[in-house]
Structure 1
Amino acid sequence: MGACTPSGEEPTPTAEPTSESPSPSGGSSGESTDERPEVEAPERPVEMGEETVEGAVAAAKYFMQLHPYINATGDFTEWDALVDQRCVNFCAAARSDADELHDAGGYSIGGDVEFLSESGDGPYDVDSLENAYVVDLSVRFAASEDVSGDGSRQSYEAGEVDFRVALIWSDGDWAVVDAWTPEAE
């Protein structure tokens, strides 16, 4: 849940879950599991206001930055605004995993995103999509840890993943219509 993996694959845990109480500051085991670290929402890039390749790249990067944010906070406001209903694989699975974690009283720590490379192209008119853009991102995710409602923890190793993100420009804003790993093609 905390790590970002290709659609349908579960990340490999680095350790078995434990029954320790989460203690971000190293305090006593009597601390509540509700002591979640504060997480700032990623800043929406100004370039997202443009129907350009640069705007599409900015939107795709923002989308990737929202992934660890929804896992940490359960706040889907920006995610839902950016993700189109046609994004049923990666987008729906990521939201479902984060929703499940938070519904059970859990949250995620870490998973920060670093972009190693980026490129984009478009616009295209493909099938029923007009003004479609495709963005390729090479992403490094920092190690992360899911903390369940009962205090058990599941760790995930840092890793690098290549993503392809398809977006459309519609009604003056970007919408992610699909995201996948190129090797899954």
Structure 2
Amino acid sequence: MTKTPSADDFDATVPPERPQALDGPPSEDTAKEVAIYFMSLSPYVFATGDFKEWNALSGKSCKYCASTVAQVNDERGAGKQRTGNRLEMRDSQSVEMHQKNNQYIVGITMKEHEGQLLRADGTVEEDTNYVLDVRVELLVTWTGARWSIDGVDIKWSGKA
């Protein structure tokens, strides 16, 4: 599993390292690495508004992917910025759903650490001063040329 940066090493404005799995070939292991990478992009896109990698992986059917872009654009349009919210990947599983279609369901259990939503003047609008346990499931598809995140379902989340 991809190493999660420690709290001291984490900077949400630095993109996570791009895994070789993004280049294929399709397998349960590479699908898992792609899903972990995609979720690891979340703090980065919220902190920077840089959607290059997020959009490259987002499938047309992924409502979570599109709603994340809309939320970030709304916040940044209002001059707001997020900091923190480091994701600590705890466990992951991958199951091939349709061998013919190279589709995989990837489950990830993670912790979302503290973060803040800052107003344009730098004051704190929202302070998440607790850790959340989160379980997500992603539909990950190899298109023959690239990976696509075709759905994300947050199964549960709650304070750790």
TM range (shorter): 0.7 to 0.9
Cα deviation digits, residues 33-61 of structure 1 (max 9, x gap): xxxx7721111111222211111001100
Counterpart CA distance in 2 for 1:170 and 1:109 is: 34
Bigger relative CO (Cα 8 Å, ≥ 6 apart)? 1
Q: Say whether residues 1:59 and 2:50 are aligned partners.
A: no
| Alignment of 1:111 onto 2:82 | no
What is the aligned residue count?
144
Please give the alpha-carbon distance, in whole angstroms, between the structure 2 residues aligned to 1:71 and 1:158.
17
TM-score in terms of structure 1 length: 0.72
SS in 1 for 2:102: strand
- Which shows bigger deviation, 58-67 or 94-103? 94-103
Consecutive unaligned residues of structure 2, counting only runs of 5 or more, are 1-10
Contact 1:86–1:177, Cα closer than 8 Å, also in 2? yes
Which residue is 1:141 aligned to? Answer: 112
> Counterparts of 1:72-151 in structure 2 under 5 Å?
72-88=47-63, 90-124=64-98, 130-151=101-122
Matches within 5 A, 1:142-161: 142-153=113-124, 154-156=126-128, 157-161=130-134
Residue type at the aligned position of 1:155: D
- State the identity %: 25
Who wins on radius of gyration, i.e. which is larger?
A: 1
Within 1, Cα distance between the matches of 2:151 and 2:12? 30
Task: Give the direction of change, closer, same or farther, for the CA distance of 1:183–1:145 in structure 2 (3 Å limit).
Answer: closer
SS in 2 for 1:182: strand
Deviation at 1:183, TM superposition (A): 5.1
Letter in 2 for 1:113: L
Q: Which has the higher strand share?
A: 2
Amino acid at match of 1:63: F
1:137 maps to a residue whose letter is I
Give the structure 2 partner of residue 176 of structure 1: 149
Structure 1 residue runs of 5 or longer lacking an equivalent are 1-36
